[in-house]
Amino acid sequence: AGVRPGYVFQTLQGSDAYDISKLKALTKGEEPYEVTFGMVQGNPVAVMETSMGEIEAEIFLDRVPRTASNFIDLAKTGFYDGVHFHRVIPNFMVQFGCPNARDPFSPYAGTGGPEDGSFTNLATDQPEKRFNGGNIQDEFISDDSNSAGTLSMANTGQANSGGSQFFINVKDNTFLDWFSRGDSRHPVFGKVIKGYDTAVKIS
């Protein structure tokens, strides 16, 4: 911020990790001036324990807060516990999150989602809705691409049809980007930071 040595600064406002704090120069006998900076809390990390190893992923709460908050809420309430990967395609992706896939042989694996209801957007502290079979409103605001290792929302191809199901890309699948020229529109909401080899192994 261009602060010179010898200055003493005092916090004028802001205490929460998401607040903007202002500091004012108090010494040196010069005209006081203010420096503004942001203190940003780090994104949460999800730990997925699978029978083939552990996967850790940063969840992009700072980029797609609705989608990230939906995932975090489902994870914290145990929705994903005991669910199998129901769709695995080598050199493409592995898909997860259907409650029907607790039975790995269920003919309905891949067709389910959470119940309608609400959850809290952790960035805004405002309520968000799940509707029409547990779906959330599309969040096409981040330009993160479906590159290898990213987590992306699954949907039926229709607007606002993503709920609990997501996939981990094990290849660069940019044609799935919501901002690509194709028909697929899958917003990325996280990235594997540890255990990517486990995702590839599952595929």
CA-to-CA distance for 172 and 145, rounded, in angstroms? Answer: 8
| Token pair listed for 174 | 């940019």
CA-to-CA distance for 163 and 67, rounded, in angstroms? Answer: 9
Identity of the amino acid at 25:
A
CA-to-CA distance for 80 and 71, rounded, in angstroms? Answer: 10
| Token pair listed for 66 | 């609705």
Residues identified as active-site? 87, 92, 95, 155, 167, 176, 186
Contact yes or no for 56/50 (Cβ under 8 A): no
Distances (CA, A) of 110 to 82, 105, 186: 15, 11, 16
Identity of the amino acid at 57:
A
Q: If you count them, how many residues does the chain have?
A: 203
